[in-house]
């Protein structure tokens, strides 16, 4: 037992020495959503008697040990919110405005509070957990979501479980999926497993497939989106695609049509990289926002007819699926310890199944050739 422990420690050291930069860079890239989260450092409610005043001057007078230039830079980066929306430095504060100053690093270490939250555990062994995450659950505590996250739930679930070397099992993230995206996610239980899995994510040997319902029809049956993703210049809270390598991180998504419904299409997306909002922003960039994706323009009628019944049909579909139509369908990888090939698949959640079935029935009973009036071509 002791010799096995020494071998394992030696393997950990070898991985960390050979791939220290790789793993660190991978955690910056593949687990980047943690770093991309914004943390609230200050918040103010403007007094009722406050006169109109530029927000940079207001914050300069209310925050100690900070220059006005720093405040202006934060505003330019979109990190100053007023009533939930980012504002520039020349915004004039009004009585009762709620002002938040956000930064990319936490003001303090976040205490992980174990919470008894039900989990759909697909697979578990001494080194990894595979979970089918429900939509609406945030992965890791961050600004605006300090409780109720997957990590809170896993901390409770693992409790006082120990690894073979006597160390406490902790949920160690290797990748993430968005709050309102459902589906398969893998979590490591120890540093060795995390390092080995991170290595696979970095070299794109992980097989990740998503199912998405998107607006519009495609001329081709499959294709590849190759672009660079970074925060939008217009709104720093969302992402955007760029053609210039200097402006973002490289992102590649391979898509394939699974089923056509006329005004919307069910597609499979295979990721080579794992950038923040990758599928959502890249699909929007080619004119096919995800159905019901409010952030990227999909929660409005982008294709179809002007008939009232059609509008009612789509609005009812939005109510059935009050989130982006995206599910992390499957995940394939090499087990970090046994080196066994592993593959996990999941069913689409009920909300997506119901909406897809609605569109399927609509497509069957409607003659698109007769409906010549189109609201918008995207």
| Cβ-Cβ contacts under 8 Å for 121 (sequence gap 6 or more) | 129, 130, 131, 157
Domain 207-365 fold is Pseudouridine synthase (3.30.2350)
What are the per-10-residue average pLDDT scores of the chain (378 residues)? Answer: 46 44 38 45 83 89 78 81 87 91 62 90 96 94 81 88 62 91 95 88 91 97 96 85 90 97 97 93 98 97 93 97 98 96 98 98 72 47
39-103 — its CATH code?
3.10.290.10
Radius of gyration of the chain (CA): 23
* Residue 351: active-site member: no
What stretch(es) of the chain map to CATH 3.10.290.10?
A: 39-103
What stretch(es) of the chain map to CATH 3.30.2350.10?
A: 207-365
pLDDT of residue 106: 54
Pair 286, 333: CB distance under 8 Å: no
| Cβ-Cβ contacts under 8 Å for 341 (sequence gap 6 or more) | 332, 334, 335
Beta-sheet pairing, 326-334 with 182-188: parallel
Q: Considering the candidates 127, 178, 180, 293, report the single residue annotated as catalytic.
A: 178
Looking at the DSSP assignment, which residues form a beta bridge with residue 92? 54
Put simply, whether the predicted model's pTM sits higher than 0.75 gets the answer no
Pair 244, 367: CB distance under 8 Å: no
């Amino acid at each position: 037992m002791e010799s096995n422990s020494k071998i394992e420690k030696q393997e950990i050291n070898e991985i960390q020495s050979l791939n220290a930069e790789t793993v660190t860079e991978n955690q910056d890239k593949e687990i980047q959503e943690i770093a991309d989260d914004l943390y609230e450092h200050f918040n103010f409610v403007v007094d009722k008697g406050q006169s109109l005043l530029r927000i940079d001057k207001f914050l300069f007078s209310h925050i100690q040990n900070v220059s006005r230039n720093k405040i202006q830079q934060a505003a330019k980066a979109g990190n100053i919110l007023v009533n939930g929306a980012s504002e520039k430095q020349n915004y004039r504060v009004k009585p009762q405005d709620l002002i938040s100053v956000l930064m990319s690093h936490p003001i303090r270490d976040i205490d992980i509070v174990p919470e008894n939250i039900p989990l759909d555990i697909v697979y578990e062994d001494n080194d990894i957990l595979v979970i089918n995450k429900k939509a609406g659950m945030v992965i890791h505590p961050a600004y605006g979501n300090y409780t109720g996250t997957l990590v809170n739930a896993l901390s409770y679930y693992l409790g006082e479980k120990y690894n073979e070397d006597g160390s406490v099992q902790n949920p160690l993230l290797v990748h993430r999926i968005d709050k309102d995206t459902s589906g398969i996610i893998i979590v490591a239980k120890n540093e060795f497993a995390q390092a080995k899995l991170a290595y696979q994510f970095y070299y794109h040997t992980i097989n990740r497939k998503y199912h998405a319902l998107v607006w519009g029809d495609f001329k081709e049956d499959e294709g590849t989106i190759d672009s660079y993703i970074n925060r939008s210049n217009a709104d720093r809270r969302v992402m955007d695609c760029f053609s210039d390598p200097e402006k973002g991180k490289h992102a590649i998504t391979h898509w394939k049509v699974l089923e056509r419904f006329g005004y919307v299409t069910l597609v499979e997306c295979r990721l080579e990289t794992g950038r923040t909002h990758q599928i959502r922003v890249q699909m929007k960039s080619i004119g096919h926002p995800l159905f019901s994706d409010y952030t990227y323009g999909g929660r409005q009628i982008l294709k179809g007819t002007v008939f009232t019944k059609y509008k009612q049909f789509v609005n009812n579909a939005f109510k059935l699926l009050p989130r982006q139509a995206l599910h992390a369908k499957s995940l394939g990888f090499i087990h970090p310890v046994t080196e066994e090939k592993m593959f996990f698949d999941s069913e689409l959640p009920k909300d997506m199944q119901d909406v897809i079935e609605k569109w399927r029935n609509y497509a069957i009973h409607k003659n698109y050739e007769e409906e010549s009036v189109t609201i918008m071509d995207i």
